[in-house]
Amino acid sequence: MAKTKRRLTRLYAEHCGRTYEEVERTLDRDCFMTAEEARDWGLIDRVIGTRDEAAARASNGLA
Protein backbone atom coordinates (compact mmCIF):
# COMPACT_ATOMS: atom_id res chain seq x y z
CA MET A 1 0.00 0.00 0.00
CA ALA A 2 2.82 2.42 0.85
CA LYS A 3 4.50 1.69 -2.49
CA THR A 4 1.27 2.51 -4.36
CA LYS A 5 0.82 5.74 -2.39
CA ARG A 6 4.39 6.83 -3.23
CA ARG A 7 3.83 6.03 -6.90
CA LEU A 8 0.56 7.97 -7.05
CA THR A 9 2.14 10.92 -5.25
CA ARG A 10 5.02 10.91 -7.74
CA LEU A 11 2.61 10.78 -10.69
CA TYR A 12 0.50 13.65 -9.32
CA ALA A 13 3.64 15.70 -8.80
CA GLU A 14 4.84 15.08 -12.35
CA HIS A 15 1.51 15.79 -14.01
CA CYS A 16 0.50 18.74 -11.83
CA GLY A 17 3.87 20.47 -11.91
CA ARG A 18 4.17 20.30 -8.12
CA THR A 19 6.89 19.00 -5.85
CA TYR A 20 6.54 15.55 -4.33
CA GLU A 21 6.43 17.12 -0.87
CA GLU A 22 3.70 19.59 -1.85
CA VAL A 23 1.51 16.82 -3.26
CA GLU A 24 2.14 14.64 -0.23
CA ARG A 25 1.19 17.46 2.17
CA THR A 26 -1.94 18.39 0.24
CA LEU A 27 -3.28 14.91 -0.45
CA ASP A 28 -2.20 13.25 2.82
CA ARG A 29 -5.39 14.30 4.58
CA ASP A 30 -8.88 15.08 3.38
CA CYS A 31 -8.46 18.09 1.15
CA PHE A 32 -11.61 19.43 -0.42
CA MET A 33 -11.16 21.73 -3.40
CA THR A 34 -13.59 23.63 -5.53
CA ALA A 35 -13.56 22.83 -9.23
CA GLU A 36 -11.62 26.04 -9.84
CA GLU A 37 -9.04 25.18 -7.16
CA ALA A 38 -8.58 21.71 -8.69
CA ARG A 39 -8.04 23.33 -12.10
CA ASP A 40 -5.56 25.83 -10.69
CA TRP A 41 -3.75 23.05 -8.84
CA GLY A 42 -3.44 21.06 -12.08
CA LEU A 43 -5.68 18.11 -11.19
CA ILE A 44 -8.17 18.84 -13.98
CA ASP A 45 -7.90 20.64 -17.31
CA ARG A 46 -11.05 22.72 -17.31
CA VAL A 47 -14.28 23.43 -15.49
CA ILE A 48 -17.51 23.09 -17.45
CA GLY A 49 -20.18 25.23 -15.86
CA THR A 50 -23.37 23.80 -17.33
CA ARG A 51 -24.65 20.72 -19.11
CA ASP A 52 -25.42 22.90 -22.11
CA GLU A 53 -21.78 23.97 -22.24
CA ALA A 54 -20.67 20.33 -21.99
CA ALA A 55 -23.10 19.31 -24.77
CA ALA A 56 -21.89 22.14 -27.00
CA ARG A 57 -18.26 21.11 -26.47
CA ALA A 58 -19.12 17.47 -27.21
CA SER A 59 -20.99 18.33 -30.41
CA ASN A 60 -17.95 20.30 -31.58
CA GLY A 61 -15.67 17.33 -30.95
CA LEU A 62 -14.12 18.88 -27.82
CA ALA A 63 -13.79 16.95 -24.59
Domain boundaries, the chain: 1-31, 34-63
Tell me the three-class secondary structure of 26-63, residue by residue.
Answer: HHCCCCCCCHHHHHHHCCCCCCCCCHHHHHHHHHCCCC
Interval 2-58: pLDDT, tens: 999 999 999 999 999 999 999 998 888 788 889 999 999 888 999 998 888 888 888
Q: What is the pLDDT of residue 63?
A: 66
State the Cα–Cα distance between residues 46 and 2, nearest whole angstrom: 31
